[in-house]
């Protein structure tokens, strides 16, 4: 049983979420909703390398192999020029900032992010790849202070520092008690789900990376080589592959997340093949939540047959302050997603907490920022039969039409 480092239930009702009631969570000592409902925390990409790694207590060699920036400390300088001094070294709670209070209030039964960073001191950078993310293994406490249960690794940065770096990443996270679906020491291990066991029923998490998100096909794990769980395309064979894997592991009462690193970094368009793939997974009973990520900003959410599809969860935090480019997407405004699933796996509610990155720290978004992201998300969700409302507490609530 993994003990949380900072969370304790205060008995307070979560603002705007009166349907959630407290009961004991035997796995993590946490409370959760009544009636078998399962409350989750989901986020998109957690990018903890480069500048963020450099302001923590332990840092890797700052040398980078990027076309323009050759020293990771340059990203710290850019952020400080944009928003003010960062007094390094910062604590491991610092980057999470106000997000820790949100997590304490909502107290989700499982916490899942996509870790788009290698956790290693390996210097074996992947040649021919433009960007390489890594953070020092000692900085894994950055993940445990937020009580993360699983970091999906099916993405295009986990092998940035070679196979040695991937093996160190897996071993480091395992020692920290964090599940790592989506990559492994072999193909069999990389394709296995993370299995979490809160009181309201098992949760299975399957993680896949796709070439459309920049995952090299030769990163595919094999019987003899560590690597990523790669879906080479989104077609019939891949539907069958995912469905067969889920059916092999799923028991009655289980709920399933299929986490997909897919698509480009910028733009609100949802490719038809992504929508069809997500629909087919749900039709086949292979997914209760489709957790999509890769875009640096939040994209549309669709509720299909009662199951949520996050086409792009956006970054949770990154080191992009002061870099410039794509200002229309305001990637400094990020979202924490809190879906609640009923016993059947259907979506009961979905609220989101808007946050803002400032000086490598998550702050509660201001009124203007919350309105802005709410309006953009509402515009995109309406294309899929949903709408997004800004609550009086400054959160965003998804409403949808029942099919």
pLDDT tens string, the chain, 403 residues long: the values are: 333 333 322 222 222 222 222 222 322 333 344 468 999 999 999 999 999 999 999 999 999 999 999 999 999 999 999 999 999 999 999 999 999 999 999 999 999 999 999 999 999 999 999 999 999 999 999 999 999 999 999 999 999 999 999 999 999 999 999 999 999 999 999 999 999 999 889 999 999 999 999 999 999 999 999 999 999 999 999 999 999 999 999 999 999 999 999 999 999 999 999 999 999 999 999 999 999 999 999 999 999 999 999 999 999 999 999 998 899 999 999 999 999 999 999 999 999 999 999 999 999 999 999 999 999 999 999 999 999 999 988 999 999 987 5
Task: Tell me 285's DSSP state.
Answer: T
d(CA 238, CA 321): 37
pLDDT value for 211:
98
Provide the phi-psi class of 356: left if phi over 0, else alpha when psi is between -120 and 50, else beta.
beta
pLDDT value for 401:
86
What's the CA dihedral at 231, 233, 234, 235 to 10 degrees?
-110
Q: Which residues touch 235 (CB under 8 Å, ≥6 apart)?
A: none
pLDDT value for 403:
57
pLDDT value for 36:
85
Closest CA to 109 of 33, 177, 42, 39: 39
CB-based contact 169:151 (threshold 8 Å): no
CB-based contact 98:355 (threshold 8 Å): yes
d(CA 150, CA 361): 21
pLDDT value for 324:
84
pLDDT value for 136:
98
pLDDT value for 200:
87
Q: Position of tokens 């009923």? A: 342
pLDDT value for 19:
25
pLDDT value for 12:
22
3-state secondary structure of 78: helix
CB-based contact 348:342 (threshold 8 Å): yes
């Amino acid at each position: 049983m993994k003990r949380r480092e900072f969370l304790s239930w205060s008995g307070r009702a979560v603002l705007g979420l009166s349907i959630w009631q407290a009961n004991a969570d035997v796995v993590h000592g946490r409370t959760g909703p009544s009636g078998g409902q399962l409350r989750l925390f989901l986020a998109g990409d957690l990018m903890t390398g480069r500048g963020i790694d450099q302001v923590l207590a332990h840092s890797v060699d700052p040398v980078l192999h990027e076309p323009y920036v050759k020293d990771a400390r340059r990203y710290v300088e850019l952020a400080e020029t944009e928003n003010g001094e960062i007094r390094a070294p910062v604590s491991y709670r610092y980057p999470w900032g106000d997000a820790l209070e949100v997590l304490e209030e909502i107290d989700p039964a499982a916490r899942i992010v996509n870790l788009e960073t290698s956790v290693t001191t390996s210097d074996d950078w992947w040649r021919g790849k433009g960007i390489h993310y890594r953070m020092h293994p000692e900085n894994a406490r950055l993940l445990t202070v937020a009580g993360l249960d699983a970091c999906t690794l099916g993405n295009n940065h986990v092998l940035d520092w070679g196979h040695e770096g991937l093996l160190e990443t897996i071993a480091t996270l395992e020692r920290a008690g964090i599940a790592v679906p989506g990559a492994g020491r072999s193909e069999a291990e990389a394709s296995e789900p993370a299995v979490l066991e809160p009181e309201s029923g098992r949760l299975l998490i399957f993680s896949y990376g796709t070439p459309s998100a920049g995952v090299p096909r030769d990163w595919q794990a094999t019987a003899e080589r560590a690597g990523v769980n790669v879906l080479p395309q989104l077609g019939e064979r891949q539907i069958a592959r995912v469905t067969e894997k889920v059916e092999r592991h799923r028991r009655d009462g289980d709920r399933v997340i299929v986490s997909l690193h897919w698509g480009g970094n910028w733009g609100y368009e949802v490719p038809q093949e992504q929508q069809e793939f997500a629909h087919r997974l749900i039709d086949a009973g292979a997914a209760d939540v489709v957790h999509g990520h890769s875009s640096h900003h939040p994209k549309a959410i669709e509720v299909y047959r009662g199951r949520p599809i996050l086409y792009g969860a956006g970054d949770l935090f990154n080191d992009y302050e002061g870099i410039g480019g794509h200002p229309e997407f305001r990637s400094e405004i990020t979202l924490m997603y809190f879906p609640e699933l009923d016993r059947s796996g259907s979506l009961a509610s979905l609220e989101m907490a808007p946050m803002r990155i400032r000086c490598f720290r998550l702050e509660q978004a201001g009124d203007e920022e919350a309105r802005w992201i709410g309006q953009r998300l509402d515009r995109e969700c309406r294309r899929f039969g949903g709408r997004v409302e800004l609550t009086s507490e400054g959160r965003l609530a998804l409403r949808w039409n029942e099919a």
